[in-house]
């Protein structure tokens, strides 16, 4: 099974900061890596798919990069509505998905 | 507008059973694979099970294999999760999600809470 790790597990940042979250897969997953945002009490929301494609309606301050085993989600200028938990997910194993443990972004 | 609405959650005793449903609308349900994903209180997301568009391919997480059964009725635009032999560790919010062609969950329901407790 493919295992996913994320770092850091949490971070504190200020509005306007550039934020970077890293996700690593236990084996190469090509570009089959997706990012979700989840706010308390809400369903996850797809942000980035296929490592670097921005989901429709998602602000351009969100971007994704990477391939193989190492991936990055970047928020170029953190906004108040971006305080949330972020999860990566591999979809390399067809219909057998794995999520990372999550990164909580809160206010400094 | 794509909508996914889960139902069927509730309080059940350990060893009991529950059947979750997910009603889909706003898209051609029979063309998409579907997922169940759960989230225990205060924990992260855990993939539970997936089913392909025609039910030809079905997969389960090891944690639920042999106890849970995923199914779908394309005529009724509905996805199901039959949960048997429930344990306290199955307590979670259960989400259904549409699986886009590349394997990402592009639409999610609001979730239904399952509590397993005596």
Residue with tokens 């429709």, as numbered in its chain = A56
State the pLDDT at residue B103.
86
Which residues of chain A register pLDDT less than 50?
none
* Nearest residue, CB atoms, A99 vs list B44, B99, B110: B44
Question: How many of the other CB atoms lie within 10 Å of CB of A30?
Answer: 13
Closest residue, chain B, to A55 (C-alpha): B106
> How far is CA B28 from each of CA B35, B53, B102, rounded to the nearest angstrom?
16, 10, 17
The answer for residues whose C-beta is within 8 angstroms of residue A99's C-beta and 6 or more apart is A4, A87, A88, A89, B37, B44, B45, B46, B47
Q: Give the tokens for residue B49.
A: 């099970």
State the pLDDT at residue B80.
98
* Nearest residue, CB atoms, A96 vs list B59, B95, B97: B59
Phi and psi, residue A26, nearest 5°: -75, -10
Nearest to B74 by CA among B7, B9, B27: B27
Does residue A44 sit at the B interface (CB-CB below 8 Å)?
Answer: yes
State the pLDDT at residue B63.
97
**Chain B positions in Cβ-Cβ contact with residue A50 (cut-off 8 Å):** 102, 104
**Chain A positions in Cβ-Cβ contact with residue B57 (cut-off 8 Å):** 94-95
Q: Convert the pLDDT of each residue in B43-53 to its tens digit.
A: 999 999 999 99
Which segments within B1-118 are labelled E, that is strand?
Answer: 3-7, 10-12, 18-25, 33-39, 45-51, 58-60, 68-73, 78-83, 92-99, 105-108, 112-116
State the pLDDT at residue A107.
85
Tell me how many residue pairs between chain A and chain B have CB atoms under 8 A apart. 69
Nearest to A108 by CA among A10, A2, A6, A7: A10
**Whole-number Å distance between alpha carbons of B49 and A28:** 23
Q: Convert the pLDDT of each residue in B53-104 to its tens digit.
A: 999 999 999 999 999 999 999 999 999 999 999 999 999 999 999 999 888 9
* Nearest residue, CB atoms, B110 vs list A43, A99, A101: A43
State the pLDDT at residue A2.
93
> How far is CA A6 from each of CA A11, A58, B18, B64, B104, rounded to the nearest angstrom?
12, 22, 33, 24, 18
**Whole-number Å distance between alpha carbons of A18 and A78:** 6
Q: Which of A97, A100, A102 to mutate to test the interface with B (most CBs of B within 10 A)?
A: A97
State the pLDDT at residue A94.
81
Total residues belonging to chain A: 108
Chain-chain contact of A100 with B44 (C-beta, under 8 angstroms): yes
Q: Convert the pLDDT of each residue in B24-36 to its tens digit.
A: 999 999 999 999 9
Q: Give the tokens for residue A14.
A: 């200020």
Minimal CA separation from A34 to chain B, in Å: 6
């Amino acid at each position: 099974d493919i295992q996913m790790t994320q770092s850091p597990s949490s971070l504190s940042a200020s509005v306007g900061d550039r934020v970077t979250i890293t996700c690593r897969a236990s084996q190469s997953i090509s570009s089959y890596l997706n990012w979700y945002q989840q706010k308390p009490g809400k369903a996850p929301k797809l942000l980035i798919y296929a490592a670097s494609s921005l989901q429709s309606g998602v602000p351009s301050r969100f971007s994704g990069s990477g391939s193989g085993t190492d991936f990055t989600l970047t928020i170029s200028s953190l906004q108040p509505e971006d305080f949330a938990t972020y999860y990566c997910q591999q979809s390399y194993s067809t219909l057998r998905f794995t999520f990372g443990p999550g990164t909580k972004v809160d206010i400094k | 507008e794509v909508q996914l609405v889960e139902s069927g959650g509730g309080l059940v005793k350990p060893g009991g059973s529950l059947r979750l449903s997910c009603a889909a609308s706003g898209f051609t349900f029979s063309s998409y694979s579907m997922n169940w994903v759960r989230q225990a209180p205060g924990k992260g997301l855990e993939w539970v099970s997936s089913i392909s568009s025609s039910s030809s391919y079905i997969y389960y997480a090891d944690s639920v294999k042999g106890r849970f059964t995923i199914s779908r009725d394309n005529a009724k635009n509905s996805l199901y999760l039959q949960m048997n032999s429930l344990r306290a560790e199955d307590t979670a919010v259960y989400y259904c999600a549409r699986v886009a062609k590349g394997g990402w969950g592009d639409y999610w329901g609001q979730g239904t809470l399952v509590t397993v407790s005596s």
